[in-house]
Amino acid sequence: MSLSRFLTDLSASVEEERPAQNEYALQQQQHPTGLSNTPVPTFDLPGVENPMEFLRTHTDDRSADAKIKIKHGTTTLAFRFQHGIVVAVDSRATAGSYIASGTVKKVIEINPFLLGTMAGGAADCQYWETYLGIQCRLHELRNKSRISVAAASKYLSNLVYSYKGMGLSMGTMICGWDKSGPALYYVDSDGTRMKGDVFSVGSGSTFAYGVLDQGYHWDLSVDDALELGRRSIYAAGHRDAFSGNTLNLYHVKEDGWHFINNYDFNKLHYDMAYGYEERLKKDAPLLA
């Protein structure tokens, strides 16, 4: 066999065994906008043979060769009560021991009746919940009615499950009001989906649950429910190094969600006497 014939056969065999990444690149050429007939969005993959393994090797804390030690930290919570749902989140984003931002908006406003919270990878939560908002709007246009909270959470769960094991990091709560009333679901990047009345997600959730479990009951008034949300997130921000800066508070009602206010943790601690030491000072004249 001549050398030229051998090289030709070798080239043909390489083309046949070319990894799926090149088939994906061909698909991207056919759909340069990233849109195709598939129900999920498509992406350009990095120029490595196994993108998932590359990501795991360089970012997973359990890998000895990890170049980037990603530490996730936040506190988000939501709970149902007789007048709707209270959603409260902090605003701190961390990259390891470095505070990357103190003004992150961790509530994604999916539509006027649906909210999603952000815990885990900020980019993952922001992208997929924004994409969920697009699908909810398409559902509304096709069916002439708003999507239910159950259906929206199920859509997100199915969507992220199709990317399970690919490095997504999400722990979100889908909160909203539909024909059946207020509804609250927890969805994470493994495709887990749970319905419940009280959820808190993030590194500070242990501290938040301590306050929530003590003060929560279904018959809370609106003012008491908002105060419980504030105090729960404050407790997490005060004790957890990866949570803090400011607190964003929402109330989901029958006519949609309402943004209540943004609160600075320092002002809660000192001016509103949320801190233990400040409460002692405030109550000192009464104890004398």
Residue 253: closest CA among 197, 182, 193, 195: 182
Which DSSP category does 189 fall into? T
Residue 277: HSE in the Cβ half-sphere, 13 Å Cα cutoff: 3
Half-sphere exposure of 198 (CA within 13 A, CB side): 19
CA angle, corner 133, sides to 34 and 206, nearest 5? 115
Residue 214: partners with Cβ closer than 8 Å, 6 or more residues away:
none
With 0-12 CB in 10 A as exposed, 13-18 as middle and 19+ as buried, what is 127?
A: middle
The pLDDT assigned to 48 comes to 79
Q: Calculate the alpha carbon distances from 241 to 30, 92, 175, 246, 247 in Å.
A: 48, 10, 27, 13, 15
Are 160 and 154 a contacting pair, CB within 8 Å?
no
Q: Is 74 a catalytic residue?
A: yes
Distances (CA, A) of 90 to 61, 77, 266: 25, 9, 13
Structure tokens at 10: 């070798």
Only one residue has tokens 């199709």, namely 162
- Strand ranges inside 48-113, DSSP E: 76-81, 84-90, 93-95, 98-101, 107-111
Backbone angles phi, psi at 223, to 5 degrees: -65, -40
Determine the 3-state secondary structure of 59 from DSSP. helix
DSSP-assigned beta bridge partners for residue 250: 87, 259
Q: Which of 8, 33, 38, 74 is catalytic?
A: 74
The pLDDT, as a whole number, for residue 187 is 96
pLDDT in tens, the chain (288 residues): 555 665 556 455 544 444 444 444 444 444 443 344 445 566 676 777 777 777 777 766 666 667 666 666 899 999 999 999 999 999 998 876 788 888 999 999 999 999 999 998 888 899 999 999 999 999 999 999 999 999 999 999 999 998 887 878 899 999 999 999 999 999 999 999 999 999 999 999 999 999 999 999 999 999 999 999 999 999 999 999 899 999 999 999 999 999 999 999 999 988 887 875 655 565 555 444
- Indicate the pTM of the whole model: 0.78
Query: Edge to edge, what strands does the sheet with 246-253 contain?
Result: 198-201, 76-81, 84-90, 246-253, 256-264
Q: What pLDDT sits at residue 286?
A: 46
The token pair at 40 is: 């999920």
Q: For the chain, how far is it from start to end, CA to CA, in angstroms?
A: 105
Q: Tokens 């009464």, residue?
A: 286
pLDDT reported for residue 72: 67
Question: Is the CB of residue 118 less than 8 Å from the CB of residue 156?
Answer: no
Helices (H), the chain: 3-16, 20-30, 51-59, 122-143, 149-161, 205-215, 222-239, 265-270, 276-287
At 278, the amino acid letter reads E
Set out the domains of the chain in order of their start, with CATH numbers: 3-45 (no CATH), 76-278 (3.60.20.10)
Which residues, in sequence order, are CB contacts of 139 under 8 Å at separation 6+?
147, 151
Q: What is the pLDDT of residue 52?
A: 75
Contact 286, 267 (CB under 8 A): no
